[in-house]
């Protein structure tokens, strides 16, 4: 499931809601992703997209949302924490960015 945020005729952000795993033990848990164009960050689009995802998640019997972000994404973390997400932990050297290993932060929200 995806949602888009538009300014006039231009998509300025998107968000997706996906089952966390195909294993039945994780039924009801969704992994979310959010992206906002740089020039529109900090202007409310992310909050609108997260609210829309949470509504769709509840309608589809999800009870928990998880997301993964870079620890240095302060603007995103501010949004997530404002929307009720809590930090779960840090995965050390979980990804690669610009040829370097980077840590990844996990957050969750119970609906």
For β-strands 86-97 and 10-19, DSSP reports them as unpaired
Count of alpha carbons within 13 Å of 107, Cβ hemisphere only?
21
Q: What is the pLDDT of residues 6-34, one digit of tens each?
A: 667 788 899 999 999 999 999 999 999 99
d(CA 41, CA 49) in angstroms, rounded, equals 12
The two structure tokens encoding residue 12: 């300025």
- 49: helix, coil or strand? helix
Q: What is the pLDDT of residues 49-99, one digit of tens each?
A: 999 999 999 999 999 999 999 999 999 999 999 999 999 999 999 999 999
The architecture that CATH gives domain 2-110 is 3-Layer(aba) Sandwich (3.40)
Q: Where are the beta strands (DSSP E) in 8-85?
A: 10-19, 29-36, 64-69
The residue extents of the domains of the chain are 2-110
């Amino acid at each position: 499931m995806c949602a888009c945020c538009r300014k006039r005729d231009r998509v300025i952000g998107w968000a997706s809601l996906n089952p966390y795993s195909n294993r039945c033990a994780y039924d009801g848990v969704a992994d979310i992703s959010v992206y906002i164009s740089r020039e529109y960050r900090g202007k409310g689009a992310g909050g609108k997209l997260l609210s829309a995802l949470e509504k769709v998640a509840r309608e589809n019997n999800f009870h928990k949302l998880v997301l993964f972000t870079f620890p240095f994404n302060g603007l995103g973390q501010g949004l997530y924490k404002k929307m009720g997400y809590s930090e779960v932990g840090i995965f050390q050297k979980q990804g690669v960015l610009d040829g370097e290993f980077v840590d990844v932060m996990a957050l969750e929200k119970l609906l």
